[in-house]
Structure 1
């Protein structure tokens, strides 16, 4: 069941899995992605390991508040918000959940938000897990092919969105694993049905570019940190994960051959195992 709560001056939509008595685990998704992009089965695996899992829609995605009045970003105009604001949203959601602190897992842009949360609200993190992310947009630039998919003109109808999603993940997904075409198109269709807002994705991308590099600030992070990254990632190359791990004192880096900018199902149990070992330490 999706619940909407007031947090940091906006409304945030979230869903939870597992016992409220479990270890609190907050999942933060990436650019333009909705809470459904954290697969229900993956959330169930994490819940089965003793976590109380919460996945949510960032601002400008899904059923959370959208900044339609701001419009699409334009050259020379200031960004509508920064990644710091998304981090404050996450802290506000934790307030609404009654969580003084939590284990925080972020993927892609969500990893950037999780890093900003660790910098801005260090007392709120029991642990940090940064997946396929980077300390800054210039640290590990995308390949030409991945950049082309990122900047492609968004499709406008449901069928075209599903087809475009399949094209995108064919480029930036995991070359070492067979693409689950049925799942990719089904999730894209469901995301379209929940909320279709290319402008929101553009505003999030502008926030990433305007937020700069966090490398120096990450040196002050004291939350135990796990960094997971695919060695075949074209959108955020593995150099981004290595830079994240190098920037945070004591961080542990795990890389996966053949994994791109997604979470292939055959790796779920291994990834859940790494996160569980991290949150249980």
Structure 2
């Protein structure tokens, strides 16, 4: 029986901005911080998924990036921060919660944060997990030819924005048999209603320069690393995950059969089991 509960959302002053943070489970257990992908608030790490991880003996942290959810927002197209600033927000969240070292899980574009943390801040990282991420090497396959994204909506029309988010999620599922439109629509409606500025959410992460670590590259990551990738991913096809595994010393690859670029509910058991095994032995 799952008895883990959310410890509630908090608005915390971190690095000169306000970030919304939510935790699950016992603070005395090893900490796992979930870093969502571009334009994704904490809601895209489903609360039930967080509870399942916490029920396996982990203290789970999720938070809203700047320009998502309830965190500080900037005018659309004018993000006053760098990619490194967003990465340092992860450490700021840890500082605010009294976490010395954490197991960090980074999704999609924010795999770049995992790279920066692993190379430039190794003392703060107990392990790394990359979900639906890539090395970005030029010789990797492009997105699937069938990946058709909808036209951007009028951001003042909430219903149109919801339809856009649902259509985007459908495309990124890559024909996965697990795509649940009803659940995604409900999530999109909550996400749009909760955001300070969804117009900013849609564009600002893509308007920043993707700077990297100062001290090296993927080959310099020493933290134990797990790469998680769906075999239906149309945006970053599976060879991206394989290349990431090969680029990081001693990294392991967990392929989620039937998953696209996201983490649909039917693969949660495999994901949670893999993550719990990966994070055994290290404490925050």
TM-score normalised by L of structure 1: 0.88
Residue by residue over 1:178-212, the C-alpha shift from the partner in whole angstroms, topping out at 9 and shown as x without a partner, is: 321111001100011111423343221133x5336
C-alpha distance 174-234 of structure 1, shift in aligned 2 (>3 A):
closer
Partners of 1:213 and 1:101 in 2: how far apart?
A: 19
1:249 aligned partner? 249
Q: Which runs of 4+ in 1 moved over 6 A?
A: 212-215
- Shift, 1:142, TM fit: 2.4
Q: For residue 166 of structure 1, give the secondary structure of its aligned residue in structure 2.
A: helix
2:199 aligned partner? 198
Residue by residue over 1:9-57, the C-alpha shift from the partner in whole angstroms, topping out at 9 and shown as x without a partner, is: 2211110111111111100001111101111110010001000001001
Partners of 1:86 and 1:137 in 2: how far apart?
A: 23
In the alignment, does 2:153 pair up with 1:154? yes
Is 2:42–2:63's contact at 8 Å kept on the other side of the alignment?
yes
Q: For residue 279 of structure 2, give the secondary structure of its aligned residue in structure 1.
A: helix
Is 2:154–2:161's contact at 8 Å kept on the other side of the alignment?
yes
In the alignment, does 2:35 pair up with 1:39? no
Alpha-carbon RMSD across the aligned residues, in angstroms, is 2.3
Partners of 1:176 and 1:62 in 2: how far apart?
A: 27
Greater fraction of residues in helix: 1
1:66 aligned partner? 73
Q: For residue 187 of structure 2, give the secondary structure of its aligned residue in structure 1.
A: helix
C-alpha distance 83-241 of structure 1, shift in aligned 2 (>3 A):
farther
**Residues matched between the structures, number:** 271
C-alpha distance 201-159 of structure 1, shift in aligned 2 (>3 A):
closer
1:99 aligned partner? 99
- Shift, 1:114, TM fit: 2.1
Partners of 2:214 and 2:261 in 1: how far apart?
A: 21
Q: For residue 190 of structure 2, give the secondary structure of its aligned residue in structure 1.
A: helix
Q: How does 1:183-194 map to 2 (within 5 A)?
A: 183-194=183-194
Is 2:54–2:60's contact at 8 Å kept on the other side of the alignment?
yes
1:277 aligned partner? 277
Of 20, 23, 29, which aligns to 1:16? 23
What are the ranges of 5 or more consecutive residues in structure 1 without an aligned counterpart? 74-78
TM-score normalised by L of structure 2: 0.88
- Shift, 1:279, TM fit: 0.3
Q: How does 1:185-264 map to 2 (within 5 A)?
A: 185-195=185-195, 196-207=197-208, 210-211=210-211, 217-264=217-264
C-alpha distance 187-226 of structure 1, shift in aligned 2 (>3 A):
same
What are the ranges of 5 or more consecutive residues in structure 2 without an aligned counterpart? 1-7
- Shift, 1:174, TM fit: 4.8
1:164 aligned partner? 164
Is 2:153–2:160's contact at 8 Å kept on the other side of the alignment?
no
